[in-house]
Amino acid sequence: NAGVMQNPRHLVRRRGQEARLRCSPMKGHSHVYWYRQLPEEGLKFMVYLQKENIIDESGMPKERFSAEFPKEGPSILRIQQVVRGDSAAYFCASSPLPPAGGGDTQYFGPGTRLTVL
């Protein structure tokens, strides 16, 4: 059973370009979470999606950032008009249907390292 897959693993963009980060959850998982980790900091939650729905986007910057998880295909985190401050590691996690209790957990992918020149 393959784990959470993210691609690309490394992405270099110039200021003003668009960045698209993809995440394929573990088989059987229908919930996806995106986190961002700035250098020397802990992970910060960005957005939580189910298939075709955004459940919680409280951690997403209001501008330039968007996320989707279509019925078919991977989840996409899109950053428009990137700036140097967007340089970070972006991690995706997935979980099965969240149980009523803490019976399961989120499994993380290897991350995409975005560098904005």
Partner 1 sequence: DAKTTQPTSMDCAEGRAANLPCNHSTISGNEYVYWYRQIHSQGPQYIIHGLKNNETNEMASLIITEDRKSSTLILPHATLRDTAVYYCILAYNAGNMLTFGGGTRLMVKP
Interface with partner 1 by CB under 8 A: which residues?
4, 31, 33, 35, 42-45, 48, 56, 58-59, 89, 91, 93, 95-96, 98-111
In the beta sheet, which residues pair with residue 69? none
Nearer to partner 1, 45 or 115 (CB): 45
In the beta sheet, which residues pair with residue 34? 47, 92
For the bound state, the minimum distance from the C-beta of residue 10 to partner 1, rounded and expressed in Å, comes to 12
> Quick check: helix, strand or coil at residue 84?
helix
For the bound state, the minimum distance from the C-beta of residue 2 to partner 1, rounded and expressed in Å, comes to 14
Nearer to partner 1, 48 or 69 (CB): 48
What residue ranges in the chain does DSSP mark as E strands? 5-7, 10-13, 19-24, 31-37, 43-50, 53-56, 65-68, 75-79, 88-95, 107-108, 112-116
For the bound state, the minimum distance from the C-beta of residue 77 to partner 1, rounded and expressed in Å, comes to 15
